[in-house]
């Protein structure tokens, strides 16, 4: 088949995606234990030599990207990891509000040369470091690719790179979302049990695969009631991506629907910190435990713009 007819076939197939997603065709398999990896982080005997960057994305708005980014980062910080959280939802960034922080500067100030990335770092609970994205500032929402690249490259100059950088991306499939996701070592896709969540996640995966060469995606199901529902969502994604895209999807389990999460936002804290025994907090601990077992990134050097691409940090001294 030539590339033109293959493309035409893909377009036709894509038109049927909604039906594919909405049809519950998955043959039901024996449920695997949720987050089969360790529920707790291993004791930190050996620090990472280089920074692992994890972009939290999802395509659709409101699926819980920020919630996942904040609580994953906080869980890892509570376990003693050196973690930085970048709010890349620029223009409508709200991690600082969710964590009760009061930044006076944001990435816009850095791009204007008024400060460095280092100056923007705000300490949150448990040693977590937050880089605020700025909210209600039009020029941030209208930033171009050159500016997004400048933000990514600025991480090369950090005095002390963290062990983990978690990046909260915006909704949609705009260039900024794709650039920040593609610049990370890992892309964690948050989906929930809504058709639009699945189709938007698919659209984002397709762009990242076709235009940026990203081949591996980790899927976490948020706001689900039980593990079987999470598994079904993953299987729908895996089936459609497996048919139309050359990508690998890893199942990262479920995060339950939990009212304590909303309470935590009202209290301007992370649920893992405020209510560590809540169902949501247990889910985040399991997710963090799973992240801790990930192997080295599969595509560390594709010649793309990447966070910490220039780093050469010795293991000692972290
Ligand atoms: N597991 C959950 N249980 C209950 N509520 C949740 C859960 N996850 C997220 N929420 C709630 O859903 C709402 C949207 O979450 P969040 O802001 O994290 O989504 P988002 O994908 O980052 O949205 P946006 O794209 O608009 O930034 C919030 O009110 C949050 O508290």
Residue-level pLDDT, tens digit, the chain, 318 residues: 454 444 444 434 444 445 545 543 333 333 333 333 334 555 444 444 589 999 999 989 999 999 999 999 999 999 999 999 999 998 888 999 999 999 999 999 999 999 999 999 999 999 999 999 988 887 888 888 999 999 999 999 999 999 999 999 999 888 889 999 999 999 999 999 999 999 999 999 999 999 999 999 999 999 999 999 999 999 999 999 999 999 999 999 999 999 999 999 999 999 999 999 999 999 999 999 999 889 887 655 556 789 988 654 333 222
**pTM of the complete model:** 0.85
**19 Cα–ligand 1 center, Å:** 26
CA of 66 to the centre of ligand 1 (A): 7
State the distance from the centre of ligand 1 to the C-alpha of 46, rounded, in angstroms.
34
Q: Which pLDDT belongs to residue 295? A: 85
- Which residue's CA is minimally distant from atom 14 of ligand 1? 62
216-224 and 248-256 beta bridge pairing: parallel
The answer to whether residues 180 and 167 touch, using CB atoms and an 8 Å cutoff, is: yes
- Ligand 1 atom at minimal distance to the Cα of residue 280: 1
**Predicted complex: ipTM over 0.95:** yes
Please tell me the predicted confidence (pLDDT) of residue 317.
25
At 311 the pLDDT is 52
Instruction: Write down the CATH superfamily of domain 49-291.
Output: P-loop containing nucleotide triphosphate hydrolases (3.40.50.300)
Look at the block and give the residue holding tokens 């979302």. 177
| Residue ranges lining ligand 1, Cβ < 6 Å | 58, 61-67, 89, 171, 222-223, 255, 257-258, 261-262, 265, 280
Four-point Cα dihedral 299, 302, 47, 289, nearest 10: -40
3-state class (DSSP) for residue 151: helix
Q: What is the C-alpha separation between 254 and 258, in angstroms, rounded?
A: 12
* pLDDT attached to residue 285: 97
Domain-wise residue ranges, the chain: 49-291
Q: What integer pLDDT is reported at residue 138 of this predicted model?
A: 79
Reduce the DSSP state of residue 173 to 3 states and report it.
coil
CA 265 / ligand 1 centre spacing (Å): 10
Q: Where are the alpha helices (DSSP H) in the chain?
A: 3-15, 17-22, 65-78, 95-98, 107-111, 117-120, 138-141, 145-154, 175-182, 195-212, 227-244, 259-266, 271-274, 279-291
Tell me, in angstroms, the distance from the centre of ligand 1 to residue 262's CA: 8
Q: Which of 63, 67, 281 to mutate to test the pocket of ligand 1 (most atoms within 8 A of CB)?
A: 67
CA of 99 to the centre of ligand 1 (A): 14
Closest atom of ligand 1 to CA, residue 92: 27
Question: Rounded to an integer, what distance in angstroms lies between the CA atom of residue 228 and that of residue 224?
Answer: 9
The rounded Å distance from CA 67 to ligand 1 centre is: 6
Among 62, 99, 233, name the best residue to mutate to test ligand 1's pocket (greatest count of ligand atoms within 8 A of Cβ). Answer: 62
Cα 50 to ligand 1 centroid, rounded to whole Å: 30
**In this structure, which residue's CA is closest to atom 18 in ligand 1?**
64
Per-residue model confidence (pLDDT) at position 34: 36
- Write the DSSP assignment of 75-126 as a string of letters: HHHHTT--EEEEE--TBB--HHHHTT---S--HHHHHTTSS-HHHH-EE-GG
Our mutation pick for probing the ligand 1 site, out of 64, 168, 189, 200, counting the most ligand atoms within 8 A of Cβ, is: 64
Tell which one of 55, 261, 281 to mutate to probe ligand 1, the residue whose CB is within 8 A of the most ligand atoms: 261
Measured by CA distance, the residue closest to atom 10 of ligand 1 is 64
Whole-number Å distance, alpha carbon 226 to ligand 1 midpoint, is 18
């Amino acid at each position: 088949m030539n590339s033109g007819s293959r493309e035409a076939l893909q377009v036709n197939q894509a038109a049927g995606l909604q039906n594919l997603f909405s049809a519950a065709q998955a043959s039901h398999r024996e449920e695997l234990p949720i987050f089969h990896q360790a529920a707790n982080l291993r004791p930190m005997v050996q620090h990472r030599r280089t920074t692992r960057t994890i972009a939290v994305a999802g395509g659709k708005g409101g699926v819980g990207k920020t919630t996942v980014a904040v609580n994953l980062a906080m869980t890892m910080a509570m376990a003693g990891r050196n973690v930085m959280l970048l709010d890349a939802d620029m223009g409508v960034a709200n991690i600082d509000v969710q964590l009760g922080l009061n930044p006076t500067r944001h990435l816009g100030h850095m791009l204007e040369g008024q400060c460095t990335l280092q100056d923007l770092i705000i300490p949150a609970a448990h040693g977590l470091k937050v880089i605020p994205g700025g909210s209600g500032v039009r020029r941030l929402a209208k930033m171009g690719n050159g500016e997004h690249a400048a933000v990514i490259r600025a991480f090369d100059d950090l005095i002390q790179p963290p062990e983990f950088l978690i990046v909260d991306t915006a909704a949609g499939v705009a260039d900024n979302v794709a650039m920040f996701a593609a610049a990370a070592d890992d892309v964690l896709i948050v989906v929930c049990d809504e058709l639009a969540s699945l189709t938007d996640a698919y659209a984002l995966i397709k762009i990242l695969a076709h235009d940026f060469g990203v081949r591996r995606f980790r899927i976490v199901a948020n706001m689900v009631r039980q593990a079987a529902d999470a598994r079904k969502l993953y299987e729908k994604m895996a089936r459609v991506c497996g048919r139309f895209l050359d990508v690998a999807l890893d199942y990262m389990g479920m995060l339950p629907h939990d009212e304590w999460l909303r309470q935590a936002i009202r209290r301007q804290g992370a649920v893992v910190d405020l209510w560590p025994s809540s169902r949501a907090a247990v889910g985040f601990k399991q997710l963090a435990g799973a992240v801790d077992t990930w192997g080295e990134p599969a595509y560390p050097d594709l010649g793309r713009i990447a966070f910490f691409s220039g780093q050469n940090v010795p293991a000692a001294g972290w």
